[in-house]
Amino acid sequence: MQYIKYSDISTCNKTISTQITGNLNLVSARYPVRMTEYYAGLIKHQDDPIWKQCMPDSRELEDDSQCPDPLQESALSPVPGLIHRYPDRVVLLVSNRCAVYCRFCMRKRLVGSGDEPMGEGGLHAALDYIAAHPAIHDVVLSGGDPLMLDDESLSKILTGLRAIPHVAIIRIGTRVPVTLPGRITRDLCSLLRKFHPLFINTHFNHPDEITAESGNACALLADSGIPLGNQTVLLRGVNDSVETMRKLMTGLLALRVRPYYLHQMDLVQGTAHFRTSVRTGLEIVRGLRGHVSGLAVPHYVIDLPGGKGKVAILPDDVKILGNMMQLRTYTGEQVLYEDITTPQE
Ligand X SMILES: *Cc1c(COP(=O)(O)O)cnc(C)c1O
Active site residues: 85-86, 89, 98, 102, 105, 107, 266, 303, 310
Among 55, 105, 106, 140, binds ligand X (CB under 6 A): 140
**Separation between Cα atoms, residue 197 and residue 219, nearest integer Å:** 18
| Sole window of 82-90, 211-219, 240-248, 334-342 interacting with ligand X (rule: CB under 6 A) | 82-90
Residues 6+ away with beta carbon under 8 Å from 44: 50, 208
Pick what 310 binds: ligand X, ligand SF4, none; C-beta below 5 to 8 Å, kind-dependent.
Answer: ligand X
Residue 286 interacts with ligand SF4 (CB under 6 A): yes or no: no
Cβ-based neighbour number of residue 305 at 10 Å: 15
107 near ligand SF4 (CB under 6 A)? yes
Can the peptide bond before residue 144 be classed as cis, meaning omega within 30 degrees of 0? yes
87 Cβ contact partners less than 8 Å away, ≥ 6 residues apart: 135
Reported as half-sphere exposure (CB side, CA atoms, 13 A), residue 335 has a value of 9
Is residue 168 within 8 Å of residue 138, measured between CB atoms? yes
Buried (b) or exposed (e) across 264-292, using 16+ Cβ within 10 A? bbbbbbbbbbbbbeeeebbebbbbbbeeb
Under the criterion CB under 6 A, does residue 263 sit at the interface with ligand SF4? no
Examine residue 199 and tell whether it contacts ligand X (CB under 6 A).
no
The binder of ligand X chosen from 52, 85, 97, 103 (CB under 6 A):
85
Is 172 a binding residue for ligand SF4 by CB under 6 A? The answer is: no
Binding residue for ligand SF4, selected from 43, 55, 90, 102, defined by CB under 6 A: 102
Site for ligand X in 88-107 (CB under 6 A): 89, 91
Question: Cβ of residue 328: shortest distance to ligand SF4, in angstroms?
Answer: 34
**Residue 23 CB neighbours (<10 A):** 12
In the bound state with ligand SF4, the residue whose beta carbon lies nearer, of 59 and 328, is 59
Question: Using the rule CB under 6 A, is 175 a contact of ligand SF4?
Answer: yes
Indicate whether 181 belongs to the interface with ligand SF4 (CB under 6 A).
Answer: no
Q: DSSP per residue over 151-173, as a string?
A: HHHHHHHHHHHHTSTT--EEEEE
Q: Residue 129, interface with ligand X (CB under 6 A)?
A: no
Q: Does 51 bind ligand SF4 (CB under 6 A)?
A: no
The 8-class DSSP code of residue 72 comes to -
Report CA dihedral (100, 91, 185, 5) to the nearest 10 degrees: 20
Binds ligand SF4 by CB under 6 A, chosen from 111, 217, 234, 238: 111
Interface residues with ligand X (CB under 6 A) are: 83, 85-86, 89, 91, 140, 310
Interface residues with ligand SF4 (CB under 6 A) are: 98, 101-102, 105, 107, 111, 143-145, 175, 203
